[in-house]
Chain A
Amino acid sequence: MKIYLDYNATTPVREEVLELMFDIYRGDAANPSSIHFLGRQARKFVDEGREKVAAAIGAEPSEIVFTGGGTEADNMAIQGTAFALREEGNHIITQATEHHAVLNTCEFLEKHGFKVTYLPVDGEGLVDPAEVEKAIGAETILITIMTANNETGVIQPIEEIGEITRSRKVVFHTDAIQALGKIPFSVNDLKVDLLSLSAHKVYGPKGVGALYIRKGTRLRPLAYGGHHEGGKRPGTENVAGIAGFGLACELAAQELVESAAHLSILRDRLCGQISENISRVKLNGSPRLRLPNTLNLSFEFIEGEGILLGLEMKGIATASGSACTSGTLAPSHVLSAMGVPAALAQGSIRFSLGRENTVEDIDYTAKALVPIIQRLRDLSPFSEEDIN
């Protein structure tokens, strides 16, 4: 039995996308900048990819710039705005549970004279729009707040924040990498100026992403070279990757309603079975404002890597917010920011579901978990007695 429950980390490339990309690689020797017929064919693949990505988020194709992934899109948005608007101010607002692609970019900018406000989140992982408004000052040039969190699935009040940033005339960026294909949204509903996407979270290829740049938004490029992507992201286009990303977006949009319903039923079934059969389990993140596929649970008295290993031995792939698995040796910054105590953050597991999962997978996982948790609790120096 092999069960993949780590779709927030990445998704497998879906068959339709794979076929399209194969076809392009087999047939295409051409550079989309070449004007001969092969070049024009390659250009067509890129243009179609751009149209489809734009359509999925309610944007104009001319507002999409392809990048080498989500991390690059976040960097382009944040560094690009900061250096373009440096004369106008040096203050950036973000929040504590952002992905490291955002947080570490902000830290880099702090070393270059920018001031960054890291807004707190509440116990459910949510940012208060009123706090965003209060943090805006004369020097504020950019606000960057993610649409949905990768660890907990928590969905931020982006529309409300968008109202504020628009009336205060501050550039607003959102990392919508986890939201794409899981919840419906459009750049106009969200009222954002910049929005990051990544193909490998929607059954597309890795190493391809996009930044939506609302018409009129000023950005300094990260790299210099040719005229590609309007000079904003020079370099010969990743033709197959872009076309594959476009198709993945189109299919995700078509299937969104059905897939969200299916995944939330499976997710709630998993949560229900676990809480029925295992005591002392806590849900991390807002139960309401959450992606339909994500379940982040803390198991008291034990540490996440042990759970992860136990599940792996049963053929189940998951992720943990424990320090032991992150390589950073500190428990998840997302859970810590939500006020989850360190020991509970250490005992967290993220189940993130996707299109291949079945009811059988869920039941098998919930059942496998019971003896794994029991065994690790028997090993633990902590127990209910310590608390009672």
Chain B
Amino acid sequence: MSVEALYSEKVMDHFTNPRNVGKMEDPDGVGTVGNPVCGDVMKLYIKVKDNRIDDAKFQTFGCGAAIATSSMVTELVKGKTLEEAVGLSNKEVAEALDGLPPVKMHCSMLAEDALKSAIEDYRKKIVSSEQ
């Protein structure tokens, strides 16, 4: 008897073998966000070079969907310009994972918000170092 999987194969892959895990030394930007719906937390670190995201890493306290979207977002943003990265939506991250169950869509907001917050952190730092 086979049962329908909770998550797509891609989600399970990123949950079991998450990419770009851990704390980054000397990040250019850090975004820490909590999911107000469930209380889960994601921390995203970025390194920026010539206005492009050169590297990204994450740490996540959250469900399988939160871990998989965290992992996917770090993959998706690498090499993107900051303008492109800011425009990345949670839907695009979820689609890259072959979708999430409807009740788990809110989890992918963590990834979108953490990315936006890391970029904002980077931009603030640039502004204050230029002053």
Contacts and interface: CB of A to CB of B under 8 A. Distances in A.
Interface in A309-330: 309, 313, 322-325, 327, 329-330
B62 to A, nearest CB: 5
Interface string B80-91: 000000000000
B63 A381 contact: no
B66 to A, nearest CB: 8
Contacts of A382: 41, 61
Interface stretch (A74-82, A215-223, A299-307): A299-307
Nearest to B23: A381
Given A379-B67, A382-B61, A324 B18 contact: no
Q: How large is the interface on A (under 10, 10 to 19, 20 to 34, 35 or more residues)?
A: 20 to 34
Interface in B1-27: 6-7, 12, 15-16, 18, 21-22
A381 B60 contact: yes
Nearest to B16: A313
A306 B15 contact: yes
B127 interface: no
Interface string B38-56: 1111110000000000000
A324 B45 CA distance: 24
B64 A309 contact: yes
A188 interface: no
A370 interface: no
A302 B12 CA distance: 18
Nearest to B71: A379
Interface of B: 6-7, 12, 15-16, 18, 21-22, 32, 37-43, 59-67, 103, 106-107
Given A331-B38, A378-B22, 5 more contacts: A309-B12, A324-B65, A379-B67, A381-B41, A381-B61
Interface of A: 301-303, 305-306, 309, 313, 322-325, 327, 329-331, 342-343, 346, 378-382
